[in-house]
Chains A and B, each alone.
Chain A
Amino acid sequence: MRQTYDAIIVGSGACGGWAAMELTKAGFKVLMLEAGSRVEPARDFHHTFLYQMEYRGQGKPGLLRRYSGSERNYRIMIDNEENPYTTSPETVYRWGRSRCLGGRTLHWARATDRMADYEFKAASRDGYGMDWAVTYADMKPYYDRVESFIGVSGAVEGLPQFPDGPFLPPMPLNCAEAIFTAACKSLGWRSTHRRLSQLTRAHNGRPPCHYCGNCVNGCDVGAMFNPIAVTLPPALATGSLEIRTDSVVARVRMSSENRAQGVTYIERYTTKSVDVDAKYVVLAASTLENTRLLLLSARGGLANSSGTLGHYMMDQVGGGGVSGILPKLRGGPSRLDDGKAGGITIPNFQNIDKGTERKDFIRGYVMNATGGQTEYPQFAERLPGYGSEWKKEVKSRYVAQARVWNAGAEMLARKENFVELDPEVKDRWGIPVLKIHFAHSDNDHKLIEDFQQRAEELFRKAGGEVMPTARVAPAGFPGGPGSPDAGPTRGRSNEPASGAAAARQRRPLGGSIHEVGTARMSVSPKDGVLNSFCQTHDIPNLYVFGGNAFPSTGDKHPTLTMMALTARGCDHLLEIAKGKTV
């Protein structure tokens, strides 16, 4: 007879790790299934200088095309050949993924921002889309719980559109960030330190950040939040968590009583099919993988009585931005400018209430800015000239680099943006892959055009000199065909353009690796797949944690909200398990 677990958690990322910790601490016997490999920080995460690597981070020419990452971090990305996806002809979308223990938070940007009621209740304000089934008051205790545990550095600002939390001290500002802060003040814009789940002092048994700036290659000491350093160790310490890596879940199996009985997974290397059972099934395999599993598990999709499963796919709109130099910093001494990989945040200040309403678009965006020296001077290849004068110019500009980027622009939810199972293409294990249908609306374009104008305004106010960022590199070299950063699908455009030029050109917009939706939460089962606890309306012992529940993107980075929803959902699951009606 097969062992029955209290819960099976599919996926080990931010949400899966949190759920494992909550459920095992409550006494649940939990099986976690992770499609990727175990990650060993001592083996996989190092301070490696580019010149110590034969291919300077690019890998053998052409070899890393199949991965999304670089030579330093491809182990914590995904093998695109093993895990393909397809897109409809009109779609320009790059689905950034990781398959490894810990998921994308092993290399994430660590931005940890709370959403606010102007986002949760946006539909009530401007009439577009659907309100969330939760309010900020519902979410606040869970934001508090998650932030207190993982540790978030930041400054208390008292802005209603950018709610505060129990922050650790903020990361200090470098010179470029100080100048941008002064520019914001001069423009009358509020700005603050980027809120990062990156420790500024020892916290819950973890050491503080040592300011190496290597975050996207995996933190070697666990000073930034990721499950392998933060949530999985206490879960494992309970003795109630079993983790099986290299286990590719193929579907959720149902019982005859309309309950999830368990899942079937395929052993990654042996391709053996294995059934496991549990009282509760928790999908936490990332937003689109969760939806893929629901689509794979029943004709027409599991838990899809609403008919909305797969629909309303969103990703915060990417693209735009300004880069160049700040003349005040030109020719100055080298400093550890990129050691925290941070910046400043300018919270959205438009369409947050009646007084800030724009006539030409709805919703808003958040801007970030930073500058100073970087590991590699990207601009140098585009700087005209050569010789000693050119070298001096490179060095002079190197410490004065600056950029303003779009940290998150709300993309409107539209039913016609959806995912489905591709009828022909399968992954390495014979499992049908997702086909993505994704296009931007006129409002999305207007938002980015406005962002571009504001970014240029900020840059000018800071005294900055704009430099084009477009780069066309030779094949196999950084940015060129065959290099790791040349993805399998067309990606975001980072080319700056004036607002007017951008409006004329209407380039395809990119995403932000913040994909959400496709199983949205709703008060009524007719309107969505999940309730406000991320429990499926249709199947009481099936929960879906990730970005699936989002009825709108908001303009904040989504991970913290996903984790807070997970914490809230776990409370609900545990109450149900105790026999209490919630």
Chain B
Amino acid sequence: MPGPADESPTLKLGREPLDTDPIASDSARMELTRRDLLDLAIRAAALPGAAQFLQAWLSAAPRQQHGTIVQAPPEPPFLRDYQPRFFDAEDFEALSAFTEILIPTDDSPGAREAHCAHYIDFVLQAAAEHAPEMQKQWHAAMATLRAAGFHKADPKGRAALVEAMANPERNRTATHPAYSAYRLIKQQNTFAFYTSRAGMIETLDYRGNTYNLTFPACDHPEHQVV
């Protein structure tokens, strides 16, 4: 029968603060030395079924030394060289401009750096086989944008159009014929941006999906009372 709890060796790693990396999370302010890794390897080898764990730790450890943010791998290059296949040139230009108005480049990356329009095109061209209704929905949305004059408007005119289209979001009594097109583009642009590396890591500084030695407990006195 199962033995008493925790008879197995505990994996403990030496740690030193990393003073050189101000953005490293508390959980990543630690350094794995070569000796630590060797020690870990010896201990882990004694644990049944620990080979995969060891492999994962060893591959993550060098990245972890430089802080959590470095653990997030680079974005695959395929969107960088992507050529639109779903939208025609005019629609793609209009969509690109629209996405950049919604999520502009400022002190952090925007839809342009995240290649949001490219990503939307990529998803839509792939919808032909199993989700053709998506393609219809987007063709209709772009037709609505065109009818609203977005394609031919100058940057100032485009900004004014987006402002008018977005109005019903805050003002429930307002309506706009292109509001649903605005919502469709906003929803997918938001998804495209915050699932990109530019949005998730460089803008929001997401810390999860990484290998960590500890979980950062709340140590703020102001959070212990309401």
Contact = CB atoms under 8 A, between A and B. Distances in A.
B224 interface: yes
A481 B225 contact: no
B166 A54 contact: no
A173 B219 CA distance: 9
A213 B71 CA distance: 14
A183 B133 CA distance: 47
A207 B44 contact: yes
B217 A212 contact: no
A386 B223 contact: no
Given A52-B75, A222-B49, A334 B204 contact: yes
Contacts of B27: 211, 336, 339
Nearest to A65: B130
Given A49-B197, A210-B213, A339 B208 contact: yes
A474 B119 CA distance: 15
Interface string B65-95: 0001000110110100000000000000000
A462 B226 contact: yes
A336 B102 contact: no
A520 interface: no
Contact of A202 (B11, B184, B190): B11
A384 to B, nearest CB: 4
B108 interface: yes
B76 to A, nearest CB: 6
Interface stretch (B31-39, B50-58, B144-152): B50-58
A377 interface: yes
Contacts of A222: 49, 52-53
Nearest to A42: B52
Contacts of B96: none
Given A178-B224, A207-B50, A57 B195 contact: yes
Contact of A47 (B8, B194, B210): B210
A381 B224 contact: no
B216 to A, nearest CB: 6
Contacts of A49: 72-73, 197, 200-201, 209
Contacts of B200: 49-51, 375-376
A336 B170 contact: no
B169 A213 contact: no
Interface in B168-226: 169-170, 184, 186-188, 190-192, 194-197, 200-201, 203-218, 220, 222-226
B226 A463 contact: yes
Q: Among B2, B3, B197, B201, which residue has the most Cβ atoms of chain A within 10 A?
A: B2
Nearest to A57: B195
Contacts of B133: 475-476, 481-482
A52 B76 contact: yes
Nearest to B69: A334
Contact of B170 (A48, A60, A62, A384): A384
A373 B6 contact: no
A145 B1 contact: yes
B215 A171 contact: yes
Interface residues of B, number: 88
B218 A173 contact: yes
Contacts of A109: none
Interface string A167-179: 0100111110111
Contacts of A461: 226
A485 interface: no
B215 A339 contact: yes
B41 to A, nearest CB: 13
Interface string A181-195: 111001000000000
B103 A62 contact: no
B1 A211 contact: no
A84 interface: no
Interface residues of A, number: 93
A335 interface: yes
Nearest to B141: A474
Residue among B110, B208, B222 facing the most chain A CB atoms (10 A cut-off): B208
B126 A60 contact: yes
Nearest to B130: A62
B133 to A, nearest CB: 5
Interface in A41-98: 41-42, 47-52, 54-57, 60-63, 65
Contact of B191 (A56, A220, A233, A374): A56
A572 interface: no
A149 interface: yes
A461 B226 CA distance: 7
A179 B127 contact: no
A177 B7 CA distance: 31
Nearest to B76: A52
A394 B190 CA distance: 10
A204 B25 contact: no
Contacts of B127: 60-62, 476
Interface in A204-248: 204-214, 220-222, 229, 233, 237
B10 interface: yes
Given A202-B10, A335-B25, 19 more contacts: A49-B200, A52-B73, A54-B78, A60-B126, A148-B4, A168-B6, A172-B218, A182-B224, A202-B9, A204-B3, A206-B50, A213-B209, A222-B53, A336-B210, A336-B215, A375-B208, A381-B186, A387-B101, A476-B123
Lowest 6 CB-CB distances: which A-B pairs, in order? A62-B130, A172-B217, A62-B131, A149-B2, A61-B127, A334-B205
24 contacts: A49-B200, A61-B123, A148-B2, A175-B218, A201-B6, A206-B8, A207-B11, A221-B50, A221-B53, A222-B53, A334-B206, A335-B26, A336-B27, A336-B212, A336-B216, A339-B27, A339-B208, A339-B210, A387-B104, A473-B187, A475-B133, A476-B127, A477-B188, A481-B133
Interface of A: 25, 41-42, 47-52, 54-57, 60-63, 65, 145, 148-149, 151, 166, 168, 171-175, 177-179, 181-183, 186, 201-214, 220-222, 229, 233, 237, 328, 333-340, 373-377, 380-381, 384-388, 390-391, 394-395, 398, 461-463, 473-478, 481-482
